[in-house]
């Protein structure tokens, strides 16, 4: 027992030094080691021994990050002011570049996405922006990805979220949409009237060509009227009958 205590008493400084020199790099991290201020190596996940004072460890998270690009005021190609925001997804592919080539890669990617988004909006009209959000998002993604390659960043996707229009423009668009619906209603109604007139003309032509067809139609109309519960009944006579009565009255 005495030997054990003696061993612990003699060895505790070494245990303390070991605890101060061991560093842990997690599975989702990479460790950038600077030796006397100069890049020396990149550590993979696990326990590593760091030489205090002479070496410094910078951990870089390589998981996919989502950056919420705040509302940006932009003017479309047809001079319409709007507010637009987006979200960008990216991950660090080269930890040493993300540390050595840019001061704060997270902030840098966010600022780059903002300026690129404003420029992309200025190259299209409002109608194109509303109709082609996916294409414009892909264009922004490629631009940001190419610009951030020297930083070791891989941009995976950019999604435009909200496009906020001025209130006056919203009212104008609503009026245009209402006028378009009224126009379509008038066109459909007139097309129905034309079709009905054509059918009536065809029916009249058929009745005039067939002997006795007009009399049958008259009898059918009288039969339909007889089922009415009202006290008023309208009698319809063919024009030929009226002409016959007129001829008899002249004799």
CA 127 – CA 104 distance, rounded (Å): 36
Stretch (H or E) spanning 204: helix 167-209
Mark whether 101 and 50 lie in a shared domain.
no
Q: How many domains would you assign to the chain?
A: 2
Q: What is the pTM of this model?
A: 0.63
Mark whether 142 and 84 lie in a shared domain.
yes
CA 99 – CA 57 distance, rounded (Å): 11
Q: Is residue 18 part of a domain?
A: yes
Q: Is residue 78 part of a domain?
A: yes
Q: Is residue 114 part of a domain?
A: yes
Mark whether 138 and 54 lie in a shared domain.
no
Q: Is residue 126 part of a domain?
A: yes
Q: What is the DSSP letter of 150?
A: G
Confidence (pLDDT) at 33:
94
Q: Which of 130, 151, 170 is the last residue of a domain?
A: 170
Stretch (H or E) spanning 241: helix 239-250
CATH of residue 156: 3.30.479.30
Mark whether 103 and 85 lie in a shared domain.
yes
Kindly tell me the number of DSSP H helices and DSSP E strands found in the chain.
8, 8
- Tell me the pLDDT of the chain (251 aa) as tens digits: 555 555 455 555 666 666 678 888 999 999 999 999 899 999 999 988 888 888 899 999 999 999 888 888 888 888 888 888 899 999 999 999 999 999 999 999 999 999 999 899 889 988 888 888 889 999 999 999 999 999 999 999 999 888 887 776 666 666 666 677 777 777 887 887 778 777 777 766 665 666 655 556 665 666 665 665 665 656 555 666 556 556 656 65
CA 143 – CA 138 distance, rounded (Å): 9
Confidence (pLDDT) at 243:
62
Mark whether 54 and 105 lie in a shared domain.
no
Mark whether 120 and 143 lie in a shared domain.
yes
Confidence (pLDDT) at 197:
76
Q: Is residue 232 part of a domain?
A: no
Mark whether 69 and 163 lie in a shared domain.
yes
Stretch (H or E) spanning 116: helix 105-122
Q: How far is CA 132 from CA 77, 104, 124, 159, 234, in A?
A: 14, 32, 10, 12, 63
Q: Which of 28, 46, 61 is the last residue of a domain?
A: 61
Mark whether 34 and 130 lie in a shared domain.
no
Q: Is residue 72 part of a domain?
A: yes
Confidence (pLDDT) at 39:
92
Domain that holds residue 26: 2-61
Mark whether 75 and 91 lie in a shared domain.
yes
């Amino acid at each position: 027992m005495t030997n054990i205590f003696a061993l612990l008493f003699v060895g505790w400084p070494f245990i303390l030094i070991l605890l101060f020199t061991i560093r842990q790099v997690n599975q989702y991290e990479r460790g950038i080691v600077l030796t006397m201020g100069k890049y020396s190596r990149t550590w993979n996940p696990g326990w590593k021994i760091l030489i205090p004072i002479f070496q410094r460890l910078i951990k870089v998270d390589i998981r996919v990050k989502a950056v919420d690009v705040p509302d940006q005021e932009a003017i479309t190609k047809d001079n319409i002011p709007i507010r637009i925001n987006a979200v960008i997804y990216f991950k660090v592919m080269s930890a040493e570049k993300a540390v050595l080539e840019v001061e704060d890669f997270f902030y840098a990617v966010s600022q780059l996405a903002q300026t690129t988004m404003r420029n992309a909006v200025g190259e299209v009209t409002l109608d194109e922006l509303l109709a082609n959000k996916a294409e414009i998002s892909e264009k922004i993604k490629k631009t940001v990805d190419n610009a951030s390659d020297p930083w070791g960043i891989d941009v995976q996707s950019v999604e435009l979220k909200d496009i906020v229009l001025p209130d006056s423009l919203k009212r104008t668009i609503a009026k245009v949409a209402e006028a378009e619906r009224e126009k379509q209603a008038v066109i459909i109604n007139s097309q129905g009237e034309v079709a009905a007139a054509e059918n009536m003309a065809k029916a009249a032509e058929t009745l005039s060509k067939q002997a006795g067809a007009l009399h049958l139609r008259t009898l059918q109309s009288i039969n339909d009227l007889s089922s009415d519960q009202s006290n008023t009944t309208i009698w319809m006579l063919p024009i030929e009958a009226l002409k016959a009565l007129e001829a008899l009255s002249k004799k």
